[in-house]
A and B are shown apart, each in its own frame.
Chain A
Amino acid sequence: MPPLTRWFIRIAMLYLLAALLVGVLLALRSPLGLPGFLLRLGPVYFHLFLVGWVTQLIFGTVHWLFPGARSARAQTATLGWVTLALLNSGLLLRVLAEPLSAGQAGSFWGWLLVLSALLQWLAALAFAAFVWPRTRERRRKQRRAQGGG
């Protein structure tokens, strides 16, 4: 398993745990009479789960499974590491800024939310660019077609 995959999957596991803990907190709010502020964590809960866990686990597995992992590691894995950094910084920024910017659109926290959106969007672009050239027919066929045996 390549190092980038290990990072994606380990971080994904941490997000799964974080998402489920936020879920517990949301479920406890009503019975324990916890502050209504916690309701602002609803979108954070979904995105920790779907971006932090599901998407990141897929990214890690795709890098491991798709053809060209070796050459990708040597040549273009930089784009994979950039994705890891962009996705996680963007998501963590969202976790922080989304609850704090509620009701304060255009504030400092609101602008951090814009930055979070930009970072996550760039992560999607970077990973698509990273994987796109690796979705291809088997190399043996290509070599044969080129007369390389």
Chain B
Amino acid sequence: MPTLSIWFVRTAFSYLVLGFTFGALMLANKGVPFAATLWRLRPAHIELLTIGWVVQLALGVAYWILPRFWEGPARGNTTGAYLAYGLLNGGIWLVALSTWLGLSPGLQLAGRLAEAGAALSFAWHIWPRIVGREG
């Protein structure tokens, strides 16, 4: 497994644990209320598990497993994939923190833009690797 995939996958599993922690706290609080403010974790819970866990794991596995090149660097120009990792995680934290702490909506917008930038950046990297056996 390449180093970048290890980063993506380990980060995804960290978000899985954090997202399930938030979810478990909210679910327990629903059964036996102990802190009303826990409901503010809901948008962060959704963000961490959808983008942080599912999307991030998919990108990490795609980077690892999609076809490689016979000549030159095996995975081609990897700048887009590394950029995607940074943008995606920056975006996740901006969205999660701004919704959790009730910060400026501008930060949430910036987070969403960073996530969209991550998708664009990863697509730039992976596009040439989406090929059949004939190339």
Contact = CB atoms under 8 A, between A and B. Distances in A.
Contacts of B9: 131, 135
B17 A125 contact: yes
A136 B6 contact: yes
Given A121-B24, A124-B16, A124-B17, A101 B3 contact: no
A117 B65 CA distance: 34
A105 B23 contact: no
A128 B24 contact: no
Interface residues on A, range: 35 or more
Interface residues on B, range: 20 to 34
A106 interface: yes
A43 B24 CA distance: 13
Nearest to B3: A137
Interface stretch (B29-37, B75-83, B98-106): B29-37
B54 interface: yes
Contact of B33 (A105, A137, A138): A105
Interface in A47-80: 50, 54, 58, 62, 65-67
A108 to B, nearest CB: 10
A117 B49 contact: no
A67 B30 CA distance: 39
B30 A105 contact: yes
Given A120-B23, A124-B16, A135-B9, A111 B1 contact: no
Which applies to chain A's interface (DSSP): helix, strand, loop or mixed? helix
A123 B3 CA distance: 26
Interface in B56-74: 57, 61, 65
A117 B28 contact: yes
Given A116-B27, A132-B10, A135-B6, A67 B16 contact: no
Contacts of B23: 117, 120-121
A106 B33 contact: yes
Contacts of B10: 132, 135
A109 B20 contact: no
A121 B21 contact: yes
A131 B37 CA distance: 33
Contact of A136 (B1, B28, B30): B1
A101 B31 contact: yes
6 contacts: A117-B25, A121-B21, A128-B13, A128-B14, A128-B16, A135-B1
Interface of B: 1-3, 5-6, 9-10, 13-14, 16-17, 19-21, 23-25, 27-28, 30-33, 49, 54, 57, 61, 65
Interface of A: 50, 54, 58, 62, 65-67, 94, 97-98, 101, 105-106, 109-114, 116-118, 120-121, 123-125, 127-128, 131-132, 135-138
